[in-house]
Structure 1
Amino acid sequence: MTVMVFGASSQIGRFLLPRLLARGETVKALSRSERASEPGLTWVHGKLPDRVPDVGRPLVIISFGPLLPFAQWLSSLVLAPGTRVIATSSMSAESKQDSDVPAERAISQSLRDGEIALAAACEKQGALWTIFRPTLIYGAGLDKSLTPIARRAMRLRVFPLPAGRGLRQPVHADDIAAAVVAALDHPEAAGRILPLGGGERLTAGEMFARVRRSLPIGTLPVPVPAPLLRLGRHAVPRLRGPLTRLEANLVADNSELQRLLGVSPRPFQPDAACWEPQL
């Protein structure tokens, strides 16, 4: 079976490709730069939505990139009936929907618009779609949330520990890849938007503490008390959203993920490898 992957070099894609190849799938992967192909994997040079060469009619199409360009590209194709289309959105579609920051509300709206567009493009052609909404992703050293914090702390030998009581549910990129592969074998997941969080809920403060403990070098812990965080929300407008959410629960209900796909993501126990780019 031929599988077309967009975002193959992303943090999820780096774990997905080995899983697909281990299943014996024939994989075509889009890249903005030239890459050498290997047995079972052909890299295609292009960019969504209008610079994608002819890739034939793959029976499975997977995307980890922006939803709207992907939906536009799908609308330009003639898909084989029953084509499986799997994509990732984000739990930010929910968590930032009522944010006090206009830019964050716009992100939420864009995600939800992309989900709607993707579903419509698939249903018009009889394709079977599944969208995952992951929580905070880690594990490949490519995320823009925890990895920059970890690397900055290693460089400066200082680790700020904000007093956040809101719950978090970080999900390893490989567990998302596992869910994508499981969806290929479970057509009952079609037509659904599935939340996807890690296997453990913990406070934001404990999450940061575990990141610090996972570092390969010692760092000085610097607690950041709640009054200082409140001051930061008012003094630095660009931090208002992130600092406010330290007291909010950003979690996902994995019950449908487990019921439909049998996937149970791992608890949050990071190690030093999580903050280095995975080849």
Structure 2
Amino acid sequence: MTILVFGGSSQIGHFLLPRLMDRGESVIAVSRRARSTPAGVRWLQGQLPEQVPALPPLSAVISFGPLQPFADWLAATSFATAPRVIATSSMSAETKRDSAVPAERAISQQLRDGESALAAACARHGCAWTVLRPTLIYGAGMDKSLTPIARRAQRLRVFPLPGGRGLRQPVHADDIAQAVLAALDCPAAAGRILPIGGGERLPFVEMFRRVRRSQPCATLPLPLPGALLRACARALPRLRGPLNRLDTDLIADNGELQRLLGIHPGPFDPDPSMWVPPR
């Protein structure tokens, strides 16, 4: 049968689709605009929660997009068989739960509501499901966290190094893709929400130093002292949440991931290619 992938053009999909093809899977990927790569993937144009036409019997449905639209689509779709369902959420479901910023608490709640809606839609169809909660994702030049910082530093030749004692656990998008494949083959992962972080926990400032070392050009380090950042947090409400978390650990417990799926994500070792989006 066929595997349907929403978000095939995302950073995780960039690594997952070739791995699915290597396994000899029949793959349909859905994108908001027409695409032609990789070879062997059938692309459909569409956007959740709209119906996706002309679907064959599916062995699995995978989604890397927003949870609630995906859950709404699942609930409204009829399936010839009960496909395996794998989706990604975010560790923000937990790390932003008690944020001092109302908008961030709302994001946390939306994520958890989406997870619940997904579980309910799968129960309706009798589908086994697994949700992965990644930490900060990197690796394909498509993330909206480290990649913009790296590119800006390349343009300006200055690299900010904000102080922060909190630990970070960046996870490569290909490690998440491998976890998706493992979950497809693991009945014991059904009905579980699994955190997934990188294989290394490192201080916030060290994460930035490694990104700087990975630059293809020399950059001037620009330390940003804590007093300056606290002043920015007071003056710029939109930055209050991220700046207030500089001394907070944003990490994941990979214990269940390793026990159930046998996945051991790699350490944070970026290189220049990771800040360039795929063509």
Q: Normalized against structure 1, the TM-score is what?
A: 0.97
Tell me how far apart the structure 2 counterparts of residues 106 and 207 of structure 1 sit (CA, whole Å).
27
Instruction: Give a deviation string over 1:58-92, Cα, whole Å, max 9, x none.
Output: 11000000000100110112235542000000000
Alpha-carbon shift at residue 124 of structure 1 (Å):
1.4
What does 1:121-270 align with in structure 2 at a 5 Å threshold?
121-270=121-270
Tell me how far apart the structure 1 counterparts of residues 245 and 37 of structure 2 sit (CA, whole Å).
43
Tell me how far apart the structure 2 counterparts of residues 39 and 227 of structure 1 sit (CA, whole Å).
52
Give the corresponding residue for 1:52. 52
Structure-2 change in CA distance of 1:169 and 1:57 (3 Å):
same
Tell me how far apart the structure 2 counterparts of residues 12 and 168 of structure 1 sit (CA, whole Å).
20
| Contact 2:57 2:81 survives alignment (8 Å) | no
Identity %: 67
For 2:48, the aligned partner's letter is L
Alpha-carbon shift at residue 263 of structure 1 (Å):
0.2
Give the corresponding residue for 1:97. 97
Deviates more, 1:223-232 or 1:73-82: 73-82
Structure 1 residue ranges (4+ consecutive) displaced by more than 6 angstroms after TM superposition: none
SS at match of 1:246: coil
Instruction: Give a deviation string over 1:139-178, Cα, whole Å, max 9, x none.
Output: 0100000000000000000001001110000000000000
Tell me how far apart the structure 1 counterparts of residues 109 and 39 of structure 2 sit (CA, whole Å).
40
For 2:190, the aligned partner's letter is A
Tell me how far apart the structure 2 counterparts of residues 172 and 85 of structure 1 sit (CA, whole Å).
22
Tell me how far apart the structure 1 counterparts of residues 14 and 121 of structure 2 sit (CA, whole Å).
27
Instruction: Give a deviation string over 1:106-165, Cα, whole Å, max 9, x none.
Output: 111110010000000001111000000000000010000000000000000000100111
| Contact 2:34 2:45 survives alignment (8 Å) | yes
Tell me how far apart the structure 1 counterparts of residues 38 and 245 of structure 2 sit (CA, whole Å).
44
SS at match of 2:58: coil
For 2:8, the aligned partner's letter is A
Structure-2 change in CA distance of 1:39 and 1:137 (3 Å):
closer
SS at match of 1:188: helix
Alpha-carbon shift at residue 232 of structure 1 (Å):
1.2
| Contact 2:132 2:194 survives alignment (8 Å) | yes
Instruction: Give a deviation string over 1:12-32, Cα, whole Å, max 9, x none.
Output: 000000000000000000011
Q: CA RMSD in A?
A: 1.2
| Contact 1:25 1:40 survives alignment (8 Å) | no
| Contact 1:59 1:80 survives alignment (8 Å) | no
Structure-2 change in CA distance of 1:2 and 1:244 (3 Å):
same
Alpha-carbon shift at residue 233 of structure 1 (Å):
1.2
For 1:243, the aligned partner's letter is L
Deviates more, 1:229-238 or 1:252-261: 229-238
Gap regions ≥5 residues in structure 2: none
Alpha-carbon shift at residue 57 of structure 1 (Å):
2.6
Alpha-carbon shift at residue 229 of structure 1 (Å):
1.2
Tell me how far apart the structure 1 counterparts of residues 204 and 37 of structure 2 sit (CA, whole Å).
41
SS at match of 2:245: helix
Q: Normalized against structure 2, the TM-score is what?
A: 0.97
Deviates more, 1:35-44 or 1:210-219: 35-44
